[in-house]
Structure 1
């Protein structure tokens, strides 16, 4: 063989140019990536979240996240990336699956994305999402995740852009800030920090001042707040309200020295009873020739959409009502009939019965659609234009509409709208050193994180009252309050 093939068996050094050895082929993973939209849900469901529940999921650290993952990523790598973006997923020990939504709009039905033999991988997810066009929903199978709002400095919000609230100075993500500014009721530390007229709510204008009630012979003077005189109108107000009043006092008209001197006297002389209050509200109705026209049917009177769509006039104008199929001209009787039916329908539709009156329904859908704002406008129009008064509200709801703040120190069990909380409050009030420890788990579920003992009973009761169903309705009342004021 050596003689026949000398070139293969010759040990002589190779002649000519020396060739480089070809390098060993190293198998590397593909560098291609895919960017997908993941949406974390709170529990096992077959429907996409509603628009009203998306904000609650966002505040709880869930909701939508955009994640970039390698196409070669396996199930373990995908799980690690999802957990890094949704830390609450790590607390779920009952497993999870990925779902996708069917076509259409609004709340849609979810269909499961079946995993392959070795679980999910990047290339498979890119294929089933139709070229990164669909959102992938993460659905816990056996756990119901907590949806209580997280603090602004939580890990879930670290990568989100943030801004500070002008009222309380808290720094929080922009998505959270949008909801926070609607409920923040703390007063600014100085008049330069926050402008009530040019701030975050341009539609809200302070058009009437609520005068603190004078003490009666049966009222203890020790319960009255500290009073101070306004430097503009010289009327005494509580110290915690004086700054709000002073920021708007004298803005609407040019004050003269004689006008300021007579301000306190005229207020005491004119506002003596409820009839004077109603007359003052009626005088505030704009009479510039424009009318707020409403055309409705007597069979379907409770419709808020037409009221909300009015652009040429505002509810401060004279209300003019036309009933379909009725040739009558509104000289006041039709307006009163319309307002009577609207107020009665509002009480049944948007307020639920309580022990001492009605409280607003807990409906995020109505809140998002601005229905409670419209309810406030209708209530104010009814008071100002001869309609009935909404005299069915609970005391805390009425005080909140008048003052704009919730008096947490005077809440009791009757103000709590949840029977579960009411029963728990009764148990805590009657608890002893031994029985209060039995209620530890239920108290912790209410959000209390302090020491549970008999000495802390008052603190526990106050927190349970403020974190109960009452505070969930506070935004609804505030939305009604923004339109329940008249210039």
Structure 2
């Protein structure tokens, strides 16, 4: 109604219904459902529109093994047409034997159906959790035995194992990317996956690389490594009229979040926190090269107790302006004006001989941390969703 009236700007007239409407449920084969995406039911093999799949699964208790229209039976019949023929090979997805002339078509549909089923199960589970009363899975207790382990590496491994034990029977998260697409489209596939809300990131992870024969844990490591590398080098997407969107700026070893308000409003740093935490959970690489001051604040420290260096300031112009008051040398009139203009912009007092050292520290902390407090909060939020915020007790 809101969309049709253009946000309430257009007048709508409601006409009374003059005929009795039929309340008889439509058959799932009706033309009214032809435009909806379908998924195959594993019990009866019927193609069910996705909005009705959950209800159908609850009422479907019979596997129709006698129906020739069942997709599973069609494939089985095709596989049995020539069992004695040497022209047969196993499907790489389900390992069933099929004639060579249909193996390619079967493998394509077999892989797609597996992915769709995992995604559908994920969606159904998230919807059920949204309406179920009581505590969610994210509040499930993780055993604290790992807290008593002195070795940080062993403690983190124990923490992961404890967390995985809670979700080991849950449906897998499916992360898919097509290597035949452009770099921008591949990056959007990663962003779309990690922008999803209300996801239990400790669930099993299934990664699929379309257009490539690679399978197994190597594909998972590739995805996680790609995510961490993109956080450092930038995504090939056009945000705010830039060819490459960088979430972190600065030199290696002094990376800090970008001060772009557009990225904050788009919750890109929540997504970055999810990527970092998800990579940690599944044994992927960590985000290296961060500023020590940022890491200190990200793990719960205060900006005042952080050790901030000039190299942590990614903006070279601001860095050089702050450098002017680092020592005790006399400033020229132009240099003093540069410092004063920057101090006024950040609501700091005038420069004087008495507050020079104090002003230097305040300006440096604000340049590195103060301008990106919202970004740091979003990073913490993303890490908290993956439950990795508990593991920082080992550091």
TM-score (norm 1): 0.41
1:316, 1:381 within 8 Å by CA — same for their partners in 2? yes
| Aligned match for 1:319, one of 193, 205, 212 | 205
Give the Cα separation in 1 of the matches to 2:152 and 2:208: 34
* Residues 322 and 339, structure 2, Cα contact 8 Å, conserved in 1: no
Structure 1 counterpart of 2:295: 398
Greater gyration radius: 1
What residue in structure 2 maps to residue 380 of structure 1?
Answer: 277
Q: What SS does the aligned partner of 2:255 have?
A: strand
Question: How many aligned residue pairs are there?
Answer: 228
Structure 1's 477 and 277: CA in aligned 2 closer, same or farther, altered over 3 A?
same
Whether 1:295 aligns to 2:194 is no
Shift of 1:388: 1.1
Q: Which runs of 5+ in 1 are unaligned?
A: 1-204, 208-250
1:445 equivalent in structure 2: 341
Structure 2: how far apart are the matches of 1:312 and 1:442? 47
CA contact (8 A) 1:359 1:394 kept: yes
Report if the CA contact (8 A) 1:293-1:320 is conserved: yes
Q: Structure 2 CA distance, aligned partners of 1:376 and 1:415? A: 20
Partner residue of 1:99? none
Alpha-carbon contact 1:436-1:452 (below 8 Å) kept: no
Q: Summarize the Cα distance change of 1:476–1:311 in structure 2 as closer, same or farther, 3 Å threshold.
A: closer
| Higher-helix-fraction structure | 2
Aligned partner of 1:280 in structure 2 is: 159
Q: Note if contact 2:194-2:275 (Cα within 8 Å) is conserved in structure 1.
A: no
What is the CA–CA distance in structure 2 between the aligned matches of 1:267 and 1:279, rounded to whole Å?
5
Cα distance in 1 between the residues matched to 2:174 and 2:146: 34
Q: Is the 8 A contact 2:147 2:155 kept in 1?
A: no
Measure the CA separation in 1 of the matches of 2:161 and 2:278.
Answer: 9
1-structure distance, mates of 2:249, 2:306? 24
Paired residues of 1:294 and 1:306 also in contact (CA < 8 A): no
Q: Deviations over 1:42-99 (max 9, x none)?
A: xxxxxxxxxxxxxxxxxxxxxxxxxxxxxxxxxxxxxxxxxxxxxxxxxxxxxxxxxx
Instruction: Show the counterpart of 1:109.
Output: none
Whether the 8 Å CA contact 1:436–1:454 is kept in 2: the answer is no
Quickly say closer, same or farther: Cα 1:308–1:435, change in 2 above 3 A: closer
> How many angstroms does 1:406 deviate by?
2.9
Distance 1:437 1:460, change over 3 A: farther
Per-residue CA shift, 1:112-144, capped at 9, x if unaligned? xxxxxxxxxxxxxxxxxxxxxxxxxxxxxxxxx
Task: Select the structure that is richer in strand.
Answer: 1
* In 1: Cα distance, 2:204 partner to 2:292 partner: 30
- Who is 1:363 aligned against? 260
Residue deviations 1:238-281 (CA, integer Å, cap 9, x gap): xxxxxxxxxxxxx8659xxxx9xxx7xx5664142234224413
Determine whether 1:338 maps to 2:338: no
1:148-159 mapped onto 2 (5 Å cutoff):
none
Shift of the 271–407 alpha-carbon distance from structure 1 to 2, 3 Å rule, reads farther
Deviation at residue 383 of structure 1 after TM alignment: 0.9
Separation of aligned partners in 2, 1:311 and 1:469? 29
Mapped to 2, the partners of 1:438 and 1:312 lie a distance apart of 53
CA contact (8 A) 1:282 1:384 kept: no
SS of residue matched to 1:430: coil
Query: SS state of the match for residue 169, structure 2?
Result: strand
Q: Where does 1:69-468 land on structure 2 (aligned, <5 Å)?
A: 253=141, 269-285=148-164, 286-298=167-179, 300=183, 301-303=186-188, 304-308=190-194, 310=196, 313-326=199-212, 331-349=216-234, 350-354=247-251, 356-403=253-300, 405-407=302-304, 410-432=307-329, 434-435=330-331, 439-447=335-343, 449-450=348-349, 452-468=351-367
- The TM-score, its normalising length taken from structure 2, stands at 0.50
Contact preservation (8 Å) 2:252, 2:290: no
Over 3 Å counting, the alpha-carbon distance change for 1:382 and 1:296 in structure 2 is: same
Residue 283 of structure 1: how far off its partner (Å): 3.2
8 A contact 2:253–2:288 mirrored in 1: no
